[in-house]
Amino acid sequence: MTSSPSTASTPPSRPRVVLGVSGGIAAYKACELLRLFTESGHDVTVVPTEAALRFVGAPTWAALSGKPVSTDVWTGVEGVPHVRLGQTADLVVVAPATANVLAKAAHGLADDLLTNTLLTARCPVVFAPAMHTEMWEHPATTANVATLRQRGSLVIEPAEGRLTGADTGKGRLPDPAEIFAVATDVLARAATSGREGSDLAGRRVVVSAGGTREYLDPVRFLGNRSSGLQGYALARTAAARGAEVTLVAANVTLADPAGVKVVRVETTAQMQAEVVAACQDADAVVMAAAPADFRPATFTDAKIKKTDDGAAPEIVLAQTPDILAGISHDRPHGGLVVVGFAAETGDAAGTVMDHARAKLVRKGCDLLVVNDVGGGKVFGAADNEAVVLGADGDATPVPRGTKSALAHVIWDRVTTLLDAR
């Protein structure tokens, strides 16, 4: 490792990303994260620690990034890399971030190139911790994470699952694709709005996603076409803005968003129980899920069989609980901001907005996000357009764009309401 980091100028169109890699077994996953950054057009400089190179060697990082790799401040000292990298970066991501690196960053230690870069960076900084559960839960690590978050860094909550050896628990590095999604969201928001995502730091939010199922017999159910994409975008962007997020997901097969606690449910009653429980100490809840409005009045223990005469069974339906109205009218505390979604179609009784305004009053929520789903629009699509209605009569049209873009508009409105309470 005698080469210095590249000093070539980078076109403004290519965001400069410093990818710090510390010495944990999850370092191999950072290779995939690096590829996601480079293949999407980012200019990436990898800064591993000496310990990280025991897991993944410098040639791998150099080959994937197209740049020489260094760990110390002495290599290429004429270019002052320990200052320049942080000064010129648009984003710094540390993945995995060990307890050791979090401690050094929190206390301002600078004994290698990565920790020097963290001290000089004036751009958004994202840490993706990975360690054993006992280390993550240790009071020292808890204090260090709190310090970093207070200073404006985004420390993603680690995932739960299989750790090194036979251990299982919280401390697993989130999926690289989800870390990439959060990191690029932070970068895009800083570039377009000048905001570095921490305005939800210290806030607890609940998001529901997906479509519930109401079972008729062991193999059949009533359901809907909700993919969960918008709810997952809301959860991901809230985490990127520093919130502690609980995502109640019904029948969704998407990867868990990085830094988000995911609670899986099937039925409307299950979703109601989990959402109500999570809202007890939450600051905001966004009901992006599509709970079934009706369920079969009776459940048949055995599969309903076809008959020889071709007659179809009569199915009696009963209404399911109205989760949104219940939370809005019976809030666990006065500071809770409640956001609902309305997937509407126009009919002879009124337009989409006519139905939406009536629903906003009926549900009693603070904001209602209105989607025109005529012809199957929105469901499963990568983009979305909506109108965000406020209980105060305000209406914010959101033009067609990514579901993450709509999510940010919603969180902007939520933060305004929270700040006023």
| Catalytic residue set | 224
Report CA-CA distances (Å) from 61 to 114, 143, 221.
15, 32, 49
* Beta pairing partners, 342: 370
Cross-strand pairs, 43:
16
Q: What is the Cα–Cα distance from 348 to 355, expressed in whole angstroms?
A: 11
State residue 193 phi and psi, 5-degree precision.
Answer: -120, -5
**Pairing relation of β-strands 159-162 and 154-155?**
unpaired
In whole angstroms, what is the distance from residue 227 CA to residue 138 CA? Answer: 38
Distance CA 85, CA 71 (A): 12
Distance CA 95, CA 171 (A): 12
Nearest to 98 by CA among 27, 165, 47: 27
Number of H helices, E strands in the chain: 13, 19
In this structure, the strands spanning 214-215 and 221-222 are antiparallel
Residue 51, number of CB atoms within 10 A of its CB: 17
